[in-house]
Amino acid sequence: MPSLVSGRHRTPAELQAALKVVNDQLADANDLERPALELVAQKLTEELVEVERELAQKKGSSDGHVGSGDGSTSLQTSEVPQGSASVSQPSGESGDQPTISGGDEDLVTFLKGLPKVRVEDGVQKYVLIRVDPEQNETKRFETTIYLVRGNPQAEYHYQCALDTIKELESKGIEAEVQGGGRIECRMKDRQIEIYGHSYQYGRADHSITAQLIKQFFGSDYQVSWGDYGY
């Protein structure tokens, strides 16, 4: 995808800087300005995913850390600072597994190993990602797949989605962010609260997020949600 401004591929650092500007504008946008800004943010995010994937392919990187081409390192939303707790494996029920017809064993294995929920302890922005069968007809999905991705280090919601979108696209799977919000995980107390919205993606369906988290963590956790706050 060509750059929206310069007609050339920009570096991840340049694209993230552009996204920061657009997201800041979205925070103050009125109803007339918002649709155009949301479209720009979506295109920039798609370009960022594509550029980072191309850089990874060129460098033959196998560790998931992609250089920006200008000496800096692009944000990896899966990184966890020392002392924090990242949760990507369920402690309770795992929920329904995706159903695929046609016997694509590699794809089935990949999807079964893909955690439905990735969150960390504390307050964090999150996004709800949807993989729709209609967008992946050649993959023969029989069910819609939802994924929850949170990250306390993310300044903007798109940063919560980047790693998973790239991971799915590496398998030829198309996905879209359905919305965002915030999740407060109090792991010690076994309590999780879901609320808020994203300026870029709108409000996620928190009821779906709550259902996924309940299935993921099990009945020992108290999960609540509401359409309030930012």
Give the domain CATH number at 218: 3.50.20.20
pLDDT (mean) for 198-224: 93
Q: How many domains does the chain have?
A: 2
In a domain, 96, yes or no: no
145-151 and 176-186 as β-strands: parallel, antiparallel, unpaired?
A: unpaired
Please report whether residue 61 resides in a domain. no
Q: Evaluate whether residue 70 is within a structural domain.
A: no
Clarify whether residues 48 and 123 are in a common domain. Answer: no
Residue 157 has pLDDT above 80, yes or no: yes
> Quick one: pLDDT band at residue 102, thresholds 50, 70, 90?
low
Rounded to whole angstroms, the Cα distance separating 204 from 220 reads: 24
Decide if 185 contacts 119 (C-beta within 8 A). Answer: yes
- Answer yes or no: is 52 within a domain: yes
Residue that finishes a domain, picked among 21, 39, 56: 56
Domain holding 52, by residue range, is 12-56
Binding positions for substrate: 125
C-alpha span between 151 and 203 (Å, rounded): 17
Given 3-state DSSP classes, what are the helix, strand and coil percentages for the chain, each rounded to the nearest 5?
Answer: 35, 20, 40
Rounded Cα distance, 52 and 73, in Å: 11
Look at residue 132 and tell me if it is in a domain.
yes
What amino acid positions are annotated as catalytic residues?
157
Residue 80, domain member (yes or no): no
Residues 47 and 125 in one domain: no
Give me the chain's average pLDDT, please: 76
pTM (2 decimals)?
Answer: 0.65
> 75 or 14: whose pLDDT is higher?
14
| Mean pLDDT to the nearest integer, 45-49 | 76
Residue 194, pLDDT score: 96
Of 20, 39, 56, the position where a domain reaches its end is: 56
Please say whether the beta carbons of 124 and 182 come within 8 A: yes
pLDDT of 204 over the 80 cut = yes
Decide: helix, strand or coil at residue 150: strand
Q: Is 19's pLDDT higher than 60?
A: yes
Compute the average pLDDT of residues 9-15. 77
